[in-house]
Amino acid sequence: MNANATVSKKPLLIGKGLPPFESIKPEDVVPAITELLEELEQELNNLEVTVKPTWNDLVEPLQKLVDSLTWSWGIVGHLMGVKNSPELRTAHDTVQPKVVEFLNKLSQSQPLYQAFKSLRNSDSWQNLDSGQKRIIETAIRDAELSGVGLEGEKRERFNAIELELAELSTKFSNNVLDATKAFSLTLTKKEEVEGLPPSLLSLAAQAAREKGATNATPENGPWRITLDYPSFVPFMQHSKRRELREQIYKAFISRADSGDLNNYPLIERILDLRQQKTDILGFNSYAELSLASKMAPTVEAVEKLLEELRSASYDAAVKDLEELKKFAASKNAPEANDIKHWDISFWAERLREEKFSFTAEELRPYFPLPQVLDGLFGLVKRIFGINITPVDGEAPVWHQDVRYFQVSDETNTPIAYFYLDAYSRPAEKRGGAWMDECITRAKIVENGQTTVRLPVAYLQCNQTPPVDGKPSLMTFSEVETLFHEFGHGLQHMLTIVDHAGAAGINNVEWDAVELPSQFMENWCYDRATLFGMAKHYETGEALPEHYYQKLLAARNYMSGSGMLRQLHFALVDIELHHRYQPGGEETVADVRNRIAKTTAVLQPLPEDSFLCSFGHIFAGGYAAGYYSYKWAEVLSADAFAAFEETGLEDESAIATCGKRFRDTVLALGGSLHPMDVFKSFRGREPNTEPLLRHSGLVAAT
């Protein structure tokens, strides 16, 4: 990036290159985005007047316009996730309606829509490559789903709905963040922290210091427990104080269900507006509207797949619970006959320790982040032939802990870059883990010169930061999460598509987008990969073999319960968006409880308001799409099975298979339908058998 750009008066308007994070302030957002929208509005008007139905006169100028908005508004969205503040929120909420309004105008442009249709019917159609054709077909479909065919009152109503949905989604998300932040439990007596692992005691003491208990130490407290995942999950697994587990569990499941942060009315309104939108566009249900742009052909196909998995996992989940009860009884636990929701994690963790005789905590010292990264980078070199090197300092960052890396091909030519923001910062960064695009690959023609713009990814995790002089020591599930997000990153970074609209994850159907990420998780259990990274951070000693055997055995521990939980979410989501009638006899909580009868072994508590924090479907892109995780998991398990079939010990076979995976799944992006991409890698359609086998729910044949 050139130096002049960095010192530009308006860092949010540079429009290309890496974002100058150190000079972007919340007060820049409103003026910059307002100015940008005025310019883009003018450009759109000009384009509508002059547009011709050719690739160069329609798609390229339109992509340029979209790139411009994506660059600036993308930075604001990114900072909302990683550096949230009251000032930024206010700025975001001030301009968001204008952005939505502009996007509606863009997606409902009649002149552009007609030009796309003319282009599809023109003689030049035959000269376009598959990526170009898919971009044009998607543009036509998306315009139709965005109400391009609407006129007069219908169009006004549709746009008002889109605007209100965007606002509700932000409000839903903020309510969950605020409700999570609002609760904390400060413990002062040693007996109250009985059973808690050292890593949680360190984190809890740090949280107490942040809230003013300057003398808090891991040994003597006070200890502050929060509903943030790195605090909540280990507390539920390890706290010996049943009444405290109950208190924390009930706080967690009732987040954002009352007072000023109550999400129930928002849920009703969101579902009602989605139904209205569906009616205007002429679909039978929001689920059908959602599937119009996904890989799954119909709601029936989705429910058939979910039922296939449900019937394979329900009995296994019943057995899991019986086993926990028996185990608790063998330990003379008073709750053995009456196991409650807040006992499950605790007893599941105790049984896991006894069965496989290790704790998630014991493994942490073997997984310091720097080593895990070495292992991950070693793996992608082995299977995809790429080299990853740190280039910290070459890119501006939003927090001093953020790292920057370069990805090069076999000839050491740079092909992509990525940021890694690994640690939890509950005060300003949202929970969970995600990959996002900073820059998308594209061929750029400027002043007659053609260059390829290299992709840059954001990778976000939320693991324990380095505390008390130790590096960030990861649980095995955090290792899997990192591999997962890196899989998304690979699809974004290793694309060979030169049109931004179909490069990387762009134009990939939503239910296929988890394929590379879930595929990468399988490698955490691969012997060579695991031993390549699991070494004790102090002694350098390799992970003892017995731990590896136990990890393998533990992989399918309670997998029936884990599978059933995901199917519960997916079926509730489909039901709410396919059959539920807002304002009818049944409430959303009734729907959830009805579905729980066949998808949960312990029925939800009366005060369980899980839906109020179900951001995936009410504040994220998973509405009528939560099934995508399982749909894509079938694809990813089957893809990994291709490597198993060639033999995981056979380096040259692995490299050959890896090259095929890279050249298809990772390279082709959205330039072909995902079923065609999958078949070009696997030679056939996907099969559920590998997923059930990997989950231990069907015997290996």
Q: Which residues are catalytic?
A: 485
Distance CA 559, CA 621 (A): 26
**Phi then psi dihedrals of residue 540, to 5 deg:** 75, 5
Report whether the peptide linkage leading into residue 222 is cis, meaning its omega lies within 30 degrees of zero.
Answer: yes
Rg for the chain, CA atoms, rounded = 25
Between vectors from CA 580 to CA 579 and to CA 586, what angle results, nearest 5°?
A: 135
Distance CA 397, CA 168 (A): 30
DSSP secondary structure, 332-351, as one string = T-GGGGG--HHHHHHHHHHH
Q: Tell me, what DSSP letter sits at residue 473?
A: B
Q: Tell me, what DSSP letter sits at residue 505?
A: T
Amino acid at 256: A
Reduce the DSSP state of residue 452 to 3 states and report it: strand
Q: Name every residue whose Cβ is closer than 8 Å to that of residue 468 and which is 6 or more positions away in sequence.
A: 202, 218
Pairing of strands 414-423, 456-463: parallel
Helix (H) / strand (E) element for 45: namely helix 26-50
Tell me the C-alpha to C-alpha distance, in Å, between residue 699 and each of 486, 566, 686, 690, 695: 30, 21, 19, 10, 10
Which residue's entry shows tokens 């109950």? 246
DSSP secondary structure, 209-247, as one string = HHTT-TT-BTTTB-EEEESSHHHHHHHHHH---HHHHHH
Number of Cβ within 10 Å of residue 98's Cβ equals 17
Reduce the DSSP state of residue 472 to 3 states and report it: coil
Could you give the count of Cα atoms lying within 13 Å of 536 in the half-sphere of its Cβ?
9
Nearest to 579 by CA among 270, 169, 271: 271
Burial (CB count within 10 angstroms: exposed 0-12, middle 13-18, buried 19+), residue 473: buried
Which residue's entry shows tokens 């508004």? 73
Angle separating helix axes 628-646 and 651-661, nearest 10 degrees: 140
Q: Tell me, what DSSP letter sits at residue 586?
A: S
Between vectors from CA 230 to CA 225 and to CA 231, what angle results, nearest 5°?
A: 10
Reduce the DSSP state of residue 591 to 3 states and report it: helix
Which residue's entry shows tokens 């994070």? 21
Identify the bridge partners of residue 388 per DSSP, sorted by sequence position: 407
Identify the bridge partners of residue 404 per DSSP, sorted by sequence position: 419
Distance CA 677, CA 122 (A): 27
Reduce the DSSP state of residue 84 to 3 states and report it: coil
